[in-house]
Structure 1
Amino acid sequence: QAAGIVVRDPDGFRFFAASHRFNALDGQIFRNAREAERAAFQAAQGLWVAGTPIVVTPVAATAA
């Protein structure tokens, strides 16, 4: 099952969920694609808690 895609963003790398299973990650910005991959793996394992990864910390979005 596809988790989603990661797209380069001016603020980092943005995750777009491909299925409902990964909706908690949708729109999150990460420092690099590998962090997004780790977060998706954690979500698949049920380790993603309240929109915050256990091991990986998303980059905070900046207001424009």
Structure 2
Amino acid sequence: MSEAYLIEAAGEAAGVVVRERGGYRFFASAPQFNVIEQQLFRRTADAARAARALAANDNQFSRAQFSRIGR
């Protein structure tokens, strides 16, 4: 079973990270996050931090967080 987390910014999906060997792979769900598409992050918090930084530049989102998907 895969381990996946939804990365959100201001209540909207920025993308999903999926656990794989070496960390978590990011898959963007909004165009402004495509710059980190397929990037491997060591921790989910690192992916959320990267999404938050991109969101700050976009001003459409103000805060990033993550939620586990599934059980």
Task: Give the TM-score, by structure 2 length.
Answer: 0.61
Partner of 1:58: none
Are residues 1:41 and 2:34 paired? no
Runs of 4+ in 1 over 4 A off after TM superposition: none
**Structure whose residues are more often strand by fraction:** 2
SS in 1 for 2:46: helix
* Higher RCO (CA < 8 A, seq sep 6+): 2
Over the aligned positions, Cα root-mean-square deviation in angstroms equals: 1.4
Matched residue count: 47
For 1:21 and 1:2, locate their aligned partners in 2 and report how far apart those are by CA, in whole Å: 11
For 2:50 and 2:23, locate their aligned partners in 1 and report how far apart those are by CA, in whole Å: 15
Task: Give the TM-score, by structure 1 length.
Answer: 0.67
For 1:20 and 1:5, locate their aligned partners in 2 and report how far apart those are by CA, in whole Å: 13
Identity over the aligned pairs, expressed in percent?
45
The letter of the residue matching 1:4 is G
Unpaired runs of at least 5, structure 1:
48-64
